[in-house]
Amino acid sequence: MYDWLCAQLETEFEQVKLLKKNPRGSIELLRHRKTGERVVCRRYDGSDEVYRRLLDVESPNLPAVLAVASRDGHVAALEEYIAGDTLDSLLRGCTMTWRETRGIIRGVCEALWVLHSMGAVHRDVKPENVLLSGERVVLIDFDAARLSRPDASADTCVLGTMGYAAPEQFGLAQSDARTDIYAVGVLMNVMLTGEHPSKKLAAGRCGRIVSRCTMMDPNRRYPDVRHLLREL
């Protein structure tokens, strides 16, 4: 299946742009030769289990995953191309109001609710992985995502992004849904203040929400995104 999909990507699609490339993999923007439809192709080394689960769901806050195949730890995933700006690009040199922040964070939480409901953890929530397209808020990039395994003692490898990664992602404990809540707290604070909460915490009630999201002990964070959504 992996070989077949890779062969089809060569024959039926043409590359429009290489969006990203690093030692773990690449992200390409492709165009279907016959229909002209644009899609994003992710190739990376790791687990494909979350992409596979997303094949069967349709959410306005997640890109539609069209095809996934893997072999010997090499993963190829084809997903919907969404034209828009990453939150990262919008935050350069500025911050957002509470109203803007709340709307975007709600969209991120809706996406996380879908992932968490299927037992998955994103593990890399950050501005670069939040795409804004019109009224749509879309959480992308599940390369680091994995299924949560409560019986495991700690994450086997360090994934995620410094600053946004929760303490347990550095080998202190097994990551779970609360790991993403930590990252959402950091994200919210950065949107409001431009700084990590350890440097400058958002004022007032927003700051209290951020604080609870970013507790060192996962048990003291919001237990799930429903509770966070309720506070928002």
Partner 1 sequence: MEEKKCPRCGAVLPAEATLCPSCMARLNKRTAIKKHPVGIPLRHIAAALAVLLAAAVCVWLAVRPGTYDNGSAQVSYRDGKTNYTVMVSFDGTSNGVVKNTEKRVYLPAGDEINALSRVYVLGEDGSLAADEFRGLVDSTELALSCTEGDETAVRIEEWGVNESFPDASYTGVLNMTGADSTQQVQWTLHMKNGDTIRLYHTLYVKEQQTVTFKPEDTPMETEADLAALVEKINTEVDKHTIAEVWLPAGVYNCDLAIQDHAFNVRGAVNADGTPATELRGTITVSTEGPNYVELENLALTGNGGNGLDASAAMTVTNCSFTGYDKAIAVHNGAFVHPTDCTFRDNQTALDFNTASFHMDSPDFTGNVFERNGTAILLESLPGGEDLDLSNCVFRENGADIVNHSERGVDTSGAKFYQ
Cβ distance to partner 1 smaller for residue 77 or 202: 77
From 25, 43, 90, 110, residue interacting with partner 1 (rule: CB under 8 A): 110
User: In the stretch 210-229, what mask flags binding to partner 1 with x, by CB under 8 A?
Assistant: ---------------xx--x
CB contact at 8 A, 125 and 143: no
Q: Does 230 bind partner 1 (CB under 8 A)?
A: yes
CA distances from 80 to 41, 58, 167, 200 (A): 9, 11, 32, 37
CA distance 36 to 82: 14
Q: Does 113 bind partner 1 (CB under 8 A)?
A: yes
Q: Does 67 bind partner 1 (CB under 8 A)?
A: yes
DSSP, collapsed to helix, strand or coil, labels residue 16 as: strand
- Catalytic option among 124, 141, 143, 155: 124
Least Å distance between CB 91 and partner 1? 25
Q: Does 135 bind partner 1 (CB under 8 A)?
A: no
User: Has 45 been annotated as catalytic?
Assistant: no
Collect all residues with Cβ–Cβ distance below 8 Å to 209 and sequence separation of at least 6. Answer: 185, 188, 228, 231, 232
For 160: left if phi > 0, alpha if psi spans -120 to 50, otherwise beta; the answer is left
Q: Does 24 bind partner 1 (CB under 8 A)?
A: no
From 104, 105, 114, 190, residue interacting with partner 1 (rule: CB under 8 A): 114
CA distance 113 to 183: 14
Which residues are near partner 1 by CB under 8 A?
Answer: 1, 4-5, 8-9, 11-13, 32, 34-35, 37, 55-59, 64, 66-68, 78, 110, 113-114, 225-226, 229-230, 232
Which residues does the annotation mark as catalytic? 124
